[in-house]
Structure 1
Amino acid sequence: MAGVLDSVNQRTQLVGQNRLELLLFSLGGRQLYGINVFKVKEVLQCPPLSEIPKRNPVVRGVAHIRGGTIPIMDLRQATGYKPLEDIQNCFVIITEYNRSTQGFLVKGVERIVNMNWGDIHPPPRGAGRENYLTAVTEVEGKLVEIIDVEKILAEVSPLPAEVSADVIQDAQRDTVVCKHVLIVDDSTIARKQIQKVVESLGVKTTLRKDGREALDFLKGLIEDGKDPYHELLMIISDIEMPEMDGYTFTAEVRASDELKNLHIILHTSLSGVFNEAMVKKVGANDFLAKFHPDELATRVNKRIEQLNEEGESVE
């Protein structure tokens, strides 16, 4: 797989232009799957795996790679199919999600394709709520499915979703917050996680699946004669989303006279210095890597405090 992945820095120009690059792979059949290259650290032939006691069946073992120990998850098994066989002839995609590194075992790796987020669409409604997809697209006449990796990680190794008691106590408990938080994320599990954190602070939420839906919602408020700034406490948005990514969504909001003052946090599993630079470029107020409930709750608390100090009613 030498040469499949170039330096991430050479691809940063795609971000902020509603574009991405997908690494295409297979799980043993004809169906193609895709993962954002920005999440990928390395692709390699499956190394020897060491078993660990009481492991989740999806975790086929751990690999010792470049001085670290990385869990290797069978992506085929994680999505409800039979485990991959002959794994020594399979590949591992090393990724970084939610501040952790893990490997996904796949049957084969195809190639990298340059895409526009506008050509990546939510799964068909008939796919059901329990599917493992965040999006679908088409490459050279073939359907490509983009797997909800955050859902898989939440099932295999759940992250704490509760806000600490002391953080809740720091909230404006004497203030009835009528402004609500707009949550924008294509992952069902991520939306629920964020919603649980925000509502634990006594703040109502509105959920949308991508930047296009969120922008339409904001424009709908304006058409109804409402001021989005007075309606919303803040917007918490993912970056990777079909139709319109978080960077483009933020730029669209900032370009609108009616929306430009909205408080936006980009909350994403894409971590790193580059993304913090992009936050400044597109005009977001803050950046937060997923997923730490206390950190997210603290940002919401600070926004309430900020509005109170500015004399802006949140009631």
Structure 2
Amino acid sequence: MSIDTDNNLLDAIDARTKLAGSNKMEILLFSLGSNEIFGINVFKVREVTNTPNITKTPNVPRGVEGFISLRGNIIPVISLSSFINLGDPAGCTNQTLIVTEFSRHTQGFLVHEVDRIIRVDWDKVKPPQDMLAGNEGLITAITELPDGRLVSILDVEQLLASALGEPDIPELAQFNDNIERYIFFADDSLVARKSIVSVLDRMGIKYQQAGNGIEAWEKLKSLAARAQQENRPLHESLRLILTDAEMPEMDGYVLTKNIKNDRRFDGIPIVMHSSLSSQANRTMGLQAGVDAYVPKFDPVILSETLRPLLV
């Protein structure tokens, strides 16, 4: 099966940007040659095509099949069946290539075949149980089709970190002014949370965190209620909220709207930290009310974005 996203998969991009704030997402379903169904956010997909000739390269990480030339760019090609062992890898023909673009990087994922695009409510997308979150945490969420079959949604950030390695965190200038401040961040990706913690630790910033939007909103409301009881403005201590865009149960756009509509959070900037780095996704974040939008996995840019907002 071959689908060119320039003509079909993303031809309704304007309509999809309207999903911001609706707590809905669209997932491209695919298989690895077994009965299991996997999914990836459509906004991460640039195109789907038949697998071209792959140039094999020695000394590459496990699962990296080689490289291809795509419209003048050399991109790595990763076999998902080498990472996900829920099905029978021998049943995967790797005949279809899903080309993805996020965090300002392009890469191809080999799969057996793609199925279709479905639209789901984020509150129907649940974090996996610990027993299902194996494979180095490559499954970030589970949702259910109308016929009762389950879809495992990939944590592509974790997948790339496993295949290509996590980015190095450089030394960053610390705050040494002894001001009591902390930030709150929400992200469902384990590798993203680890990266954020590393940046904040190097900056000397205290933090609290949550693993999805619902958890974040409940914790934030508790912080606001406590500040009210103590008769102090919350923004004096909670200086910034950092949120992912894609999260189970409540996405970052709805979380942002909830915060902006609650006067207890006045004066606290919101930064969206997302692997969805296209202009369309940036526009979605700004429309939802974020004060800044920063791509994931660039610690220097993240630090430079946060620093002036924390002064």
Instruction: Please give the TM-score of this superposition, normalised by the length of structure 2.
Output: 0.90
8 A contact 2:63–2:163 mirrored in 1: yes
| Distance in 1, Cα, partners of 2:88 & 2:19 | 35
With over 3 angstroms needed to count, the CA separation of the structure-2 counterparts of 1:11 and 1:233, relative to structure 1, is same
SS of the residue corresponding to residue 279 of structure 1 reads helix
Identity %: 34
Where do 1:1-315 residues align within 5 Å?
1-2=2-3, 5-7=9-11, 8-80=13-85, 84=89, 90-127=95-132, 130-140=136-146, 141-164=148-171, 167-168=172-173, 171-173=174-176, 175-224=177-226, 225=229, 227-305=233-311
8 A contact 1:24–1:35 mirrored in 2: yes
Shift of 1:269: 0.4
8 A contact 1:84–1:107 mirrored in 2: no
Superposed CA offset, 1:49-95 (max 9, x none): 11012111211111222222221101121235699558766211100
SS of the residue corresponding to residue 126 of structure 2 reads coil
The letter for the 1-side match of 2:211 is K
With over 3 angstroms needed to count, the CA separation of the structure-2 counterparts of 1:87 and 1:215, relative to structure 1, is closer
Shift of 1:10: 3.6
| Distance in 2, Cα, partners of 1:238 & 1:107 | 30
Count of residues in Structure 1 that have an aligned counterpart in Structure 2 = 300
Shift of 1:263: 1.2
Superposed CA offset, 1:271-297 (max 9, x none): 122223223212111000111111111
| Distance in 1, Cα, partners of 2:262 & 2:41 | 29
Shift of 1:4: 5.3
8 A contact 1:179–1:231 mirrored in 2: yes
The letter for the 1-side match of 2:150 is L
| Distance in 2, Cα, partners of 1:19 & 1:86 | 32
The letter for the 2-side match of 1:205 is Y
SS of the residue corresponding to residue 122 of structure 1 reads coil
The letter for the 2-side match of 1:246 is G
